[in-house]
Amino acid sequence: MATLHARFAGVPFAEHGSHWEDAWRESSTPWDRAGPSLALHDLLSQRPDLVPPAQHHDHRGLPLRDAAGAVEKKKALVPGCGRGHDVLLLSSWGYDVWGLDYSSTAKEQAIENQKKAEAQGLYKPIKGIDKGSVNWVTGDFFGEDWAAGIGGKPKFDFIFDYTFLCALPIEARPRWSQRMTELLISDGRLVCLEFPTAKPMSEPGPPWGVSPELYEALLTAPGEDIIYHADGTVDETPSPKPRTDALHRLSLIKPLRTHSSGTGNDGAVLDFISVWSR
């Protein structure tokens, strides 16, 4: 099977979607981790100050309900969700979650993954909260069609990015940052598990090497092209334009645990987690 780099070499970005679908059909999915992100789990369980609560409660500690009596839940999005491990994790924490992938084969496998997990009793609600819904959608993250069934132009309280930005070619990165700001509500949280940080940023992808400086340059100036040095690292000169849509990094964390792919030979964690808001 072709490596990811070979599969996408010379392919215009507008045609990438069909190549991701081919990879899923061929079961060539080295990015799949066979389970949810440990770093995301630990952020949810250990840093409630950094993530929006999935459900609001009244002064008695009872969950707020809508006119139909259903518990009011916040909305989460996982773009490039693949088999949906992190979608299921966020649902167990009480969010209504949308798992988005371009590939229809990925959606089929996500549905099967959900059925197996439910049969095995996995992803039970945390701390007795009301479990969130799981919704699988296919489409182009940068387009509008997939969002039509979620209320036209949906806004999300929580967006999780892992192995998504690193899958995009350099020219698509400004579109990624612009789209993230469009989809995040004003007081929402974008959580990025930054991977791969050990890969030189000048080497071709996917996956493309990333760094905390890259995320900062993109998200503080959404939609703007950024300048790179010859080695692929980012010119950190701030954008001179004032931006009302800019995201600000609330925290940059070196997680205690992550997938083996984000861990060095000596056991050191190489990934970062960054949390962003307006």
For residues 255 and 271, the answer to whether their CB atoms sit within 8 Å is yes
37 CB neighbour count, 10 Å cutoff: 26
Q: Which of 1-15, 26-40, 261-275 has the lowest mean pLDDT?
A: 1-15
Q: Which amino acid is at 114?
A: Q
What pLDDT is attached to residue 240? Answer: 79
Quick one: DSSP state of residue 146? G
270 CB neighbour count, 10 Å cutoff: 16
Q: Which of 101-110, 148-157, 176-185 has the lowest mean pLDDT?
A: 148-157
SS3 136: strand
- Average pLDDT value for residue range 230-245: 87
pLDDT digits (tens, 9 = 90+) for 45-92: 999 999 988 988 888 878 889 888 888 899 999 999 999 999 999 999
List, in order of start, the domains of the chain with CATH numbers.
16-25+34-51+71-277 (3.40.50.150)
The predicted model scores a pTM of 0.95
What pLDDT is attached to residue 2? Answer: 61
Quick one: DSSP state of residue 169? -
Q: DSSP letters along 200-245, please?
A: -TTS--SSPP--HHHHHHHHTSTT----B-TTSPBP-PPPSS--TT
